[in-house]
Structure 1
Amino acid sequence: MNSAVFLDRDGVINEVLTNRVKFVNQPKDFYFLPGVPEAIKQLNRYFDFIFVVTNQGGVGLGFMKESQLIQIHEHMVKELAKFGAIIHDVAFCPHKPKAGCECRKPGSKMLIDLSRKYHVNLENSYMVGDTDTDIQAGKKAGTKTFFLGENDPLADAVFPDLLSASQWIIQDVQAHLK
């Protein structure tokens, strides 16, 4: 079975609610957070797959069309590839925040669907997010969970950014290989 790292998008990979950008509704609004391409490139060396799993209620609320969201994700993947960093697949929930769908985090459907599609062992995988719903989704799916920010009591570990989290994840993987 394969291993994977599941990454939330907004606040983990790219800026959101910053001085430069409020929401990412088109590719020109997409700015990587510091160290993200390097972190993903490092994770690519140790994991079979790197996935993005993201709630994108702006589609359901009418702020953008699903085709625009797909263009943003294509832009993200293409820009990361310039650094040698690979995202293997992107799953998103386009529904309104209170639609009650199964795919929206804290539900684990996006992670489970990707794990089935790519034959991923969730127990040997990691979920990295910046909200409690990301951590809950990872826990429900059976991954180890890493919170980016100040504190999350449910998370297995807390880090300030993806680069520092990725370094710890790699050390954890190496420890289990010995």
Structure 2
Amino acid sequence: MTSELPPLPDTPPPAPTEPPAVSAHVPPAPAARRLSPLAAGLIGLATGAAIVGGTWAITANSGPDAPATFTLKGSFALTDSVVPDGNGGCGGTRGYDDILEGAGVTVYGASGDVIATGGLGNSTYDGDTYDCTFKVAVPDVPKGERFYKVEVSHRGTVQLSGKEAENGDFGASLG
């Protein structure tokens, strides 16, 4: 092994050569083609359908609110054949057995259609007059009728104006 270095060349290495020049010629873009009338019509139809469908989807859930309603309130009194229940309440007897808490209350609109149903509420016994008075509260009665008819159990209807019904002025008695 020798410690001698190889001799250096007398001439410097050649300078690097430049890469070959790239042609600046870019081929022209292909000429734009015109759509056929059929293709243009189909694209227009699809776009129109998308707009109509999108509008429908947006407005489908934003329709008018449910009709305004109120709770028909008032009282119903039984004045004959009343029996106290021992807890301050009461009900009917001897032919008035159907008049008790929970008995059906039907509300009819001006056209005669059933528009809401409920039941007699809590009862109160008046030992001085021997009357039994029930609270009436029928929810979700549609507003706007000229008049309403209210029937307790199967005992016939009582008519009241729309204003009376909405103001909670229902009152009827039986017996």
TM-score (norm 1): 0.23
TM-score (norm 2): 0.24
Q: Which has the greater radius of gyration?
A: 2
- Quick check: which one's strand share is greater? 2
- Quick check: which one's helix share is greater? 1
